Amino acid sequence: MSRAADLITFNETTSAEAFASRFDATDDATARLLSAVVGHVHELIKEFRPTQEQWRKVIDFLTEVGHASDERRQEWVLFSDLVGASALVEEINSRRPSGATPNTIRGPFFRADTPERALGSSISLDGIGEPLLVEGRVEDLDGLPIPTAEIVTWQANAEGYYENQQPDLQPEFNLRGTFRTDQNGRFHYRTVRPSGYGVPDDGPVGRLLAQAGYPLHRPAHLHFVVRAPGFETITTHIYDASDPKLGEDALFGVRKELVRPFESSVADDQPGSKVSVTFVMVRARPGRSK
């Protein structure tokens, strides 16, 4: 039978159906997803009924986001992060039993080449900021220690900037380190207390959300990736309980189990702070170890 015989007349009522009907393989996952996305877009257009000029502004924004993305900056990832899409995908794909450490998104400042450092050493290569001692343990759901687990950590400095944001002002790999837990599953290292910061607002995504009055804050935090053979990898944050903007995290990463007090402490006769953390890992399922 000719496709013309099955032609669906395009109008306001049938627009999404007319688009979906062009696909031959209706059982194709890509076709189903694309049809669903287009259907939602059509519903938004019907709901808000933009003028041609208003719709052109939407196209111009999407074009500007693309132009602002390159090998050093990914504005589309920022957009995904700020609207909660990244956090939702992470939530769907990393559900864990009660008691296990939840995943959060990794964020844009991770470096895969972070050097390994000895337990107890400092990741603050410039020594600028209030001293902070980080102590922790990696264990399974039964509370048993996980020795030789790999812990990658990175953070912003006391002014809210990561090392790869300020290559001319901070030493290479400043406030980054990879550690291994001891036989008791414990680790510790020295650093400086991080500051919260505003997410980039110098691009089209940040400008649009700022104009709309959306909070672009990230409360003070430490990043971690925890790996061990036979266990699901943890990618998560630890947040400073004293930060007043915990309820406004632009990347939707704050969970109550990830908030820890940064307590006053004295080490080597130098006043500072200390935070204690426990990471609880779950056994890996097929295809879920990374």
Residue pair 176/164 in contact (Cβ under 8 Å)? The answer is: no
Q: What is the DSSP secondary structure assignment for residue 104, as one 8-state letter?
A: -
Q: Which residues of 280-289 are buried (b: 16+ CB within 10 A; e: fewer)?
A: bbbeeeeeee
pLDDT of 7 reads: 77
Pick the CATH number of 75-281 from 3.40.980.10, 3.40.30.10, 2.60.130.10, 3.30.360.10: 2.60.130.10
Listed residue (226, 206, 229) closest to 238, CA to CA: 226
Which pLDDT tens digits describe the chain residue by residue (290 residues)?
445 546 788 999 999 999 888 887 667 888 889 899 999 999 999 999 999 999 999 999 999 999 988 876 788 988 999 999 999 998 898 889 999 999 999 988 899 999 999 999 999 999 999 999 999 999 999 999 999 999 999 999 999 999 988 999 999 999 999 999 999 999 999 999 999 999 888 889 999 999 899 999 999 999 999 999 999 999 999 999 999 999 999 999 999 999 999 998 877 667 899 999 999 999 997 765 55
Token reading at 205: 């995504």
Residue pair 81/253 in contact (Cβ under 8 Å)? The answer is: no
Q: Which residues of 114-142 are buried (b: 16+ CB within 10 A; e: fewer)?
A: beebeeeebbbeeeebebbbbebbbbbee
Listed residue (281, 290, 270) closest to 149, CA to CA: 281
The single residue listed with the structure tokens 């990471």 is 279
Cα dihedral 190, 193, 196, 200, rounded to 10, equals: -50
Give the relative orientation of helices 75-82 and 85-93 as an angle to the nearest 10 degrees: 70
Amino acid identity of 25?
Answer: A
pLDDT of 2 reads: 46
Domain ranges of the chain: 3-49, 75-281
Q: Which residues of 10-44 are buried (b: 16+ CB within 10 A; e: fewer)?
A: eeeeebbeebbeeeeeeeeeeeeeebeeeeeebee
pLDDT of 178 reads: 98
